[in-house]
């Protein structure tokens, strides 16, 4: 993978930052995309240098411009990691159209817009697309209907594109983390606190117990799975949704 140009969206924190660091260790040339310029800049500095582009992945024109910017800096995109996402919780009857649409826009439409922007390079040169979905893309969870629907959409998109491009030198896969130790679990912790009256520590422990290994998934564990899917050794792997969840969800 050395020298290949990878774009990682949501690359400034959490799972995205871990993926960027893991790919950098493989010698990949990086463009980090996200909404927070300061966070992206800090991450780029930690990596010893990476190109950064501020973009809202729900903005079609902004996404197209961001990928042109990335190409100008580092050439054709050969690896795309669609990591940008957001989770918000609400009971079904309190999930209004605004929340529903926002979850679809950020998690599903954003993944599609970035994929479409990268496809000309990938189809011309060959490469990898890895979508960071969630176990919520494989099973249901209460109080996050919109998020679950969006992540199921990401898995469906992954499978459709994998078949469409199977003979074109492009693999398309998804990784589906369970509850991961990043700031994105704050919403899940808060929901448990609100519904049960438990403390934050008790709520985090409850999430960890959902994992048969008895722990929250670590960002680096997700990053390792992504790096493998981007490697030459995974060239025959496409259309898969791989759960990184300690056995919480099993696919077959």
Q: Which two tokens stand for residue 44?
A: 């780029």
Q: Which member of 141, 143, 147, 179 is catalytic?
A: 147
Closest CA to 25 of 2, 51, 42, 9: 2
Catalytic residue status for 147: yes
Three-class SS of the chain: CCCCEEEEECCCCHHHHHHHHHHHHCCCEEEEEECCHHHHHHHHHHCCCCEEEECCCCCHHHHHHHHHHHHHHHCCCCEEEECCCCCCCECHHHCCHHHHHHHHHHHHHHHHHHHHHHHHHHHHHCEEEEEECCHHHCCCCCCEHHHHHHHHHHHHHHHHHHHHCCCCCEEEEEEEECCECCHHHHHHHHHHHHHHCCCHHHHHHHHHHCCCCCCCECHHHHHHHHHHHHCHHHCCCCCCEEEECCCCCCCC
Residue numbers annotated as active site: 147
């Amino acid at each position: 993978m050395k020298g290949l140009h990878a774009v990682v969206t949501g690359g400034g924190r959490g799972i995205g930052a871990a993926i960027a660091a893991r790919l950098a260790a493989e010698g990949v040339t990086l463009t980090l995309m996200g909404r927070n310029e300061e966070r992206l800049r800090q991450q780029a500095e930690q990596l010893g240098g990476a190109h950064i582009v501020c973009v809202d992945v729900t903005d079609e024109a902004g996404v197209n411009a961001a990928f042109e910017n990335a190409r100008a800096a580092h050439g054709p995109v050969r690896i795309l990691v669609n990591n940008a996402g957001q989770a918000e919780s609400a009971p079904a009857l309190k999930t209004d159209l605004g929340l529903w649409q926002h979850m679809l826009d950020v998690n599903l439409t954003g993944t599609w817009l970035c994929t479409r922007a990268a496809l000309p390079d990938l189809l011309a040169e060959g490469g990898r697309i890895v979508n960071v979905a969630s176990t919520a893309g494989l099973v249901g969870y209460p109080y996050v209907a919109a998020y679950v629907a969006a992540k199921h959409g990401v898995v469906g998109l992954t499978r459709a594109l994998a078949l469409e491009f199977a003979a074109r030198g492009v693999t398309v896969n998804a990784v589906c983390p369970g509850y991961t130790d990043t700031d994105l679990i704050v919403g899940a912790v808060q929901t448990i606190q609100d519904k049960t009256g438990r403390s934050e520590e008790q709520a985090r422990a409850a999430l960890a117990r959902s994992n048969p290994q008895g722990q929250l998934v670590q960002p680096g564990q997700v990053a390792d799975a992504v790096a493998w899917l981007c490697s030459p050794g995974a060239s025959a792997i496409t259309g898969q949704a791989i759960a990184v969840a300690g056995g919480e969800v099993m696919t077959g």
